[in-house]
Amino acid sequence: MIRVHKIHSAGNWPKDRPQDPPADRITLDREDRHRRRAVMSGENGLSFLLDEPDAVFLHHGDGLELEDGRIVEVLAEPEDLVEIAARDTAHLIKIAWHLGNRHLPTQLMGETLRIRRDHVIEDMISRLGGGLTPVTAPFDPEGGAYGHGRTHGHSHDHEHDHGHGHSHSHSGGHHDHGPAHE
């Protein structure tokens, strides 16, 4: 079976073939875009193997370069989301802080935020004075600060070693993630 040779981030596909359309497309929801190893089939029936040393998070618009040079475009499946608006930037930051404190996958949209529908969280946002608009759209949440894990990281084209450990204390509702990384 043909394998994925390289993963190109959205907009960074091979520059020597910009006129070539992708050989196929694959539409995946957020969970299906977080993979280490999987046999995948594109919309036109092209089957291929994704086999990475560590799990990767594929983003909407990424290009999977196969061993023969063909590209398969990754599309994010539209999901039921809520778009969050705020009075001003400070208010949006306050809402974002509350979402981050709950480790909720959140898509940063400039002047708004997007999360998956959740009536409990939507009630919290309403109580904080945020505006809520239900939408159906691709969900591409922000990665986390440490560059790994289910809500983290988008690094495909290079290998790296952080050279440090992580300690996460989750007592008393406060999350201490230690000193900032340098």
- Which whole number is the average pLDDT over 90-95? 97
Query: What are 123's two structure tokens?
Result: 């009630």
Range with the lowest mean pLDDT among 59-63, 133-137, 162-166?
162-166
pLDDT on residue 145: 60
**What is the band of 170 on the pLDDT scale with cuts at 50, 70, 90?**
very low
Q: Which of 107, 115, 108, 105 is nearest to 89 (CA)?
A: 108
- Which whole number is the average pLDDT over 67-86? 95
The bridge status of strand 107-108 relative to strand 113-116 is antiparallel
Angle (CA) 22-28-31 rounded to 5° is: 140
4 close to 42: Cβ distance less than 8 angstroms = no
Burial class of residue 112 (count of CB atoms within 10 Å of its CB; 0-12, 13-18, 19+): middle
Q: Is the pTM of this model over 0.85?
A: no
Q: Has residue 167 got a pLDDT over 50?
A: no
CA 154 vs CA 43, 54, 145, 150: distances in Å? 24, 12, 11, 11
pLDDT on residue 146: 53
